[in-house]
Amino acid sequence: MRVKREELTEGCILIEDVYAVTQHPIVRKKTVLKSEHLEVLKAFFIKNVHVEQKLVDGTPFLPSQTDSEEAEETEEFTIEKPSTFLDYYLETVQTYKSLFQNWTGGTKVEMEKIRNLLPPLIEKMIEHPNKVLLLHHYSTRDDYLYHHAISTALLSVFLARKQNMEKKEWLQAGVAGALCDAGMSKLPTSIRNNKDHMSEQEFEEVKNHPYYSYQMLKETKSVSDQVLLAVLQHHEREDGSGYPLQVKGHKIHKISKIVSVADVYHAMTSERYYREKRSPYKVIDQMSKEEFGKLDPETLQLLMDSLITFSIGTKVRLSNGQEAKIVYIDNKSPANPMVRLLETDDIIPLTGAEGPFIEEILPE
């Protein structure tokens, strides 16, 4: 919907790029608006923008004034039942957030609620599988833990299905992805809310969260051994360099390996207090190089192949501000495809070191 700038609030999600008297957008679509974005829009005298009908926290956005051309849409604002993939996703994140906050107060994990939480969103993801690789757009610094849990769950289901696992197994992968960081609720608030790089002592405490997650689920007495293992082992690595037990590849459960790849991918693409969100292409390239020998190669290759499959014809923004469409990707170097520049129709290879690189996917 299109609303007046004065009606905007933090948490609004842009649907379209916002231009001023500039060649490139002053605020990009899919941006979750913050106070600094609102100031930019004000400084450039922007009159109205297109935003989603829900805020990033899942609540309906109900401005008192909309642009007159779209006034008829106001009747839709009161609809509470989610309808789009994004609606389902944001609602699921907020429900998970409420559950997580209960765990910090000592409430036990209610597995039935978790099992009922994921299937509607998974069904939407199966209808729109390409969207699962773009969930980092909606993760915010303050609510990263909750977005990360649901995104890791969806990515785990996606990858398990790609491995042709049975439905029971890919649902277990989803539950494990959602709950692998449940133990973070048992960490001191000062560590969970830390906005700077952690001290060595703080990081050592964070490395205990797989134990805490495992124990929380063990207490429910209604969790499969596969889920328990995946939760305990999601930070283990093929070469034994992970934690908490430093076990090697042959001792790591197959669902653990899937959750590990999903966990790393979403963490590396998402916005954090200490860095901006990052291009999936750069992340996949970095994972294939820096995590070589650490993450399961088959699962990592499936993730890479999926990104490549969904990417041909995809609109992207380059680091120099130009927009382009991907025309070819070499799976040996996913961060450096060939693209067609939309402004000139020129087809150019992206070499990474010497020229522009893909900074962001721009969904249609």
41-50, 211-220, 326-335 — which one is most confidently predicted on average? 211-220
The CATH number of residue 349's host domain is 2.30.30
Residue 40 domain flag = yes
Whether residue 90 sits in one domain with residue 73: no
Whether residue 147 sits in one domain with residue 11: no
- The residues that bridge with 326 in the sheet, in sequence order, are 339
Tens-place pLDDT, residues 275-313: 888 888 889 888 988 887 899 999 999 999 898 888 888
Whether residue 179 sits in one domain with residue 55: no
Whether residue 147 sits in one domain with residue 101: yes
The one-character DSSP state at 109 is P
Give the per-residue pLDDT at 22: 62
Whether residue 160 sits in one domain with residue 22: no
| More confident site: 322 or 333 | 322
Whether residue 59 sits in one domain with residue 165: no
Q: 70 pLDDT exceeds 80?
A: no
Burial of residue 44, with CB atoms counted within 10 A of its CB: 0-12 exposed, 13-18 middle, 19 or more buried = middle
- The residues that bridge with 50 in the sheet, in sequence order, are 2
Work out how many domains the chain is built from and give that number. 3
Residue 284 domain flag = no
Residue 287 domain flag = no
Whether residue 94 sits in one domain with residue 73: no
The CATH number of residue 52's host domain is 3.90.105.10
Whether residue 246 sits in one domain with residue 228: yes
The one-character DSSP state at 117 is H
Tens-place pLDDT, residues 92-136: 999 999 999 999 999 999 999 999 999 999 999 999 888 898 899
Tell me which residue range forms the domain holding 346. 310-361
Q: What does the alpha-carbon distance between residue 338 and residue 281 come to, in Å, rounded to a whole number? A: 13
Residue 291 domain flag = no
Whether residue 164 sits in one domain with residue 73: no
Q: What does the alpha-carbon distance between residue 309 and residue 327 come to, in Å, rounded to a whole number? A: 11
- The residues that bridge with 340 in the sheet, in sequence order, are 325, 347
Whether residue 25 sits in one domain with residue 170: no
Is residue 315 within a helix (H) or strand (E), and if so which, with residue range?
strand 315-318
39-48, 221-230, 270-279, 346-355 — which one is most confidently predicted on average? 221-230
The one-character DSSP state at 326 is E
